[in-house]
Structure 1
Amino acid sequence: MHYSILLEDAEGVSYFEDRTVDVPFRDFVPPAAPLQISDVYRATGFVFLTLPVGWKGVQHRSPRRQIAAILSGRFRVEAGSGEVRDFTAGDLFWMEDTTGAGHVSSAEDGVAATMVITQLG
């Protein structure tokens, strides 16, 4: 399973990295056959978020460590490094840029972008 993560360098400039989650086969719901499942990640809550049609934010930090699962639309993020990535339904976007200059995000393609965001502990 793949995801993009937004990190910060020593100067507080955000940048993207591609990462992979290890999902080995494990017993999860016995007596059913093993499933591919990751380690447990601690979370404190989750929210549903909709960026309205045409919404574009100003540069901001992530309010906390969090991961977004995109449900619909096209969610665009511009890192402080200048790299731009688009996320669509099924994509995972992990945010760790909580102290630096942050990033800019927007809803693209004339449709709202919807997601569920899990706030990490």
Structure 2
Amino acid sequence: LLLPAIALCLLLRLREHMSTKGLENQLFNLKFTGKQLKRLSIKCSKEEKSEKLKIKKALEKDNHDGARIHAQNAIRQKNNAQNYLRLSSRVEAVASRLESAIKMQQVSAMLSVTFRAVANRPLEPICLL
């Protein structure tokens, strides 16, 4: 009778550990994606600055059509940078919530183990403390 209970307990702990590992992997992927999006935002900002320099050079050469094309590219890069930054912020917010959930899950698992340990002890020695 004791052996199946131990097996069940081990199976539940293994399942809990695996789900925590899966969540931790998801957390890592979310943080990594957030950093990638920030890098892409920075890259787009740099490309926007280079397009602005190209606009200036095209206007100095009296090339208005080329300047217009570079201006459109600069606007597109600016919008892309803002979108990447906005998406990065959202992904990091989700990662933060997931991290909080993982920590709460770990704390509740520790509390349940502690509760089981206390529940199995007689109350008299605990009351004396």
Structure 2 length-normalised TM: 0.18
Q: Does 1 or 2 have the higher relative contact order (CA < 8 Å, sep 6+)?
A: 1
Structure 1 length-normalised TM: 0.19
Task: Give 1 or 2: higher helix fraction.
Answer: 2
Q: Which has the larger radius of gyration?
A: 2
